[in-house]
């Protein structure tokens, strides 16, 4: 039987966790051990720990941030890194007839995965840049706030009443353009990848479309990609409050990003 592999890819804060949760509910094997819920994703990140740790190890080994929030790329994989990735894939292929994984950092290594898994299909999750950047700013600023809120009462009071607002504006101004550049870089990598794929090998979706069109997407995965799945309603797991509202930040709303490569 032909092995069926689904690579779930998309920029951070694009709804990749939510959609992977839905696919897991439908019966797709997305990892033996997943990253649990926590700061930023209380419902769970639905990331295969094996792939996540490997991606973090590769990034750190090339002096890049483990978060993957970078516009830089790994120039060349070492033999060790390539062989270790191959060993992870080999075990998955031995264990399952169909499987997949999600980790936004995958976008940084799509050329390698295309070589290692030439018959894989790609579910691309796309979200607009303003929503992504706003979500990243809120999430990352929360780490700053948590440090202050862990202090004694008087320090917390000063933070809440006097410092928080100014610090938030400064943080947003300092990081908005940086995160926008990351959004552009990730989506350029995705475009570069899918331009080399047969048309049937990839689908681009947005989490919002699944609220009304989950059955059509499900049928495509089942009929076109021959994934043995059982339909589960996307609406049953979708929670609008966990996605977060789009914030039209003045310092990013006027920027018009271009995905065109020079």
Query: Splitting the chain (262 residues) into consecutive groups of 10 residues, what average pLDDT does each group show?
Result: 88 93 95 76 78 97 96 94 96 96 97 96 95 92 84 84 86 92 97 95 90 92 95 87 53 51 46
In this predicted structure, what is the pLDDT of residue 167?
A: 86
What local confidence, expressed as pLDDT, does residue 242 receive?
57
Q: How many domains does the chain have?
A: 1
The per-residue DSSP string of 9-69 comes to EE-TTSSHHHHHHHHHHTT----SSBPPPBTTBTT----BHHHHHHHHHHHHHTT--TT--
pTM attached to this predicted model: 0.86
Q: Looking at the domain assignment, is residue 250 inside a domain? A: no
**248 domain residue, yes or no:** no
pLDDT computed for residue 208 by the predictor:
84
The Cα 60–Cα 66 span in angstroms is 6
**Structure token pair of residue 260:** 């065109």
User: Is residue 51, in this structure, part of any structural domain at all?
Assistant: yes
Determine the 3-state secondary structure of 180 from DSSP.
helix
For residue 75, the 8-state DSSP code is S
Evaluate whether residue 260 is within a structural domain. no
Note down the domain range covering 51: 4-240
Residue 140: count other Cβ atoms within 10 Å of its Cβ: 16
pLDDT tens-digit readout, 121-130 = 999 999 999 9
Q: Residue 133 domain-assigned?
A: yes
Residue 251 in domain: no
Domain CATH number, residue 44: 3.40.50
Is 63 among the domain residues? yes
CA distance 242 to 88: 32
Does residue 252 lie within any of the structural domains? no
């Amino acid at each position: 039987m032909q092995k069926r592999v689904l690579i779930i890819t998309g920029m951070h804060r694009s709804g990749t966790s939510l959609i992977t949760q839905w696919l897991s509910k439908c019966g797709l094997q997305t990892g033996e051990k997943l990253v649990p819920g926590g700061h930023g994703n209380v419902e769970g990140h639905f990331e295969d720990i094996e792939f996540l740790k490997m991606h973090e190890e590769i990034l750190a080994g090339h002096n890049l941030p483990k978060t993957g929030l970078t516009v830089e790329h790994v120039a060349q994989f070492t033999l060790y890194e390539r062989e270790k990735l191959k060993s992870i894939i080999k075990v998955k292929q031995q264990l399952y007839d169909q499987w997949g994984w999600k980790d936004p950092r995958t976008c940084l290594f799509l050329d390698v995965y295309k070589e290692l898994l030439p018959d894989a299909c790609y579910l691309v999750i796309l979200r607009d840049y303003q929503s992504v950047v706003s979500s990243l700013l809120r999430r990352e600023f929360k780490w700053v706030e948590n440090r202050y809120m862990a202090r004694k009462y008087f320090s917390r009071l000063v933070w809440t009443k006097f410092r928080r607002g100014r610090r938030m504006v400064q943080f947003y101004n300092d990081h908005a353009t940086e995160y926008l550049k990351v959004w552009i870089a990730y989506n350029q990598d995705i475009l570069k990848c899918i331009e080399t794929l047969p048309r049937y090998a990839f689908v681009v979706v947005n989490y919002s479309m699944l609220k009304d069109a989950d059955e059509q997407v499900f049928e495509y995965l089942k009929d076109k990609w021959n994934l043995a799945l059982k339909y589960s309603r996307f609406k049953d797991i979708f929670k609008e409050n966990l996605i977060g509202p789009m914030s039209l930040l003045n310092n990013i709303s006027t920027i018009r990003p271009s995905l065109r490569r020079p």
